[in-house]
Structure 1
Amino acid sequence: MFIAADYPFLDVLWTMLIFFAWIIWFWLLITVFADVFRRHDTSGFAKVLWIIFVIVLPFLGVFIYLIVNHDGMTQRSMNEAQTQRAQMDDYVRSVAGSGGAAAEIERAKGLLDSGAITQAEFDAIKAKALAAS
């Protein structure tokens, strides 16, 4: 006996639609709450009013917040992304250092070609650079 025989295909589609709408609704709530708390241009009183409005009249509150503050939400999200990117770039630059063993060998090769160091010194620098990496 099949369990799915009592659950028609359109009911499955309707259940999936309701489930995804529920997920999207919670995503919207979290997005609105995060934006309310991220804002620096409003007072604490205004934030409390928005939170109460969204809790008391959830659909109306979220939709009105999205309509009224959509430009600000976009700008704050872009600023946050740019700040995170700048922090990541700074971190990568600080960790990357001077280019590693290949850059050190390349500099030593330039010195060897210019005659500033001998072949033995170049070999010693190369061995040291390769040992460090």
Structure 2
Amino acid sequence: MSHYCYGPDTMGLCWEQPGRNILRDRYHTIVPPPEDWQDVERIEYEPSTNGSGCGEGTVLMHKRAKLGEMEGYIKTVSAYHNWMAQHMNEKAKKDGGDGDIVDEMFEKMVEAESEWKAQGENWRDFEVENE
């Protein structure tokens, strides 16, 4: 997913900057002015690729979602819309096309994840934990 969302040959260059990099850096560049804020505690969590709860830090947000819901969510991000504007001839499979960048990303992920692949055509109904 990281390759498709942030790779230079995929959607990576389609994010609005510097905002996306500030977010990906977990807002470290934003430092509350010490004269206005006291006893500030920065709570962070860096998810792991080894499964739910395996990351570093304190989990504050998590949600179970179906892969199809995640697929739909990714199609709402600005990088996807900017990518589509640059690739107007590529059409999503659900719209009768050969597939867009999100179709390609999910095809590769389903192929790589045996539990997802075992679902066959119903992979979109498989639930995953998101952190």
**TM exceeds 0.5?**
no
TM-score normalized by structure 1? 0.25
Normalized per residue, the structure richer in strand is 2
Using CA pairs under 8 Å that are at least 6 residues apart, name the structure with larger relative contact order, 1 or 2: 2
Normalized per residue, the structure richer in helix is 1
Larger radius of gyration: 1
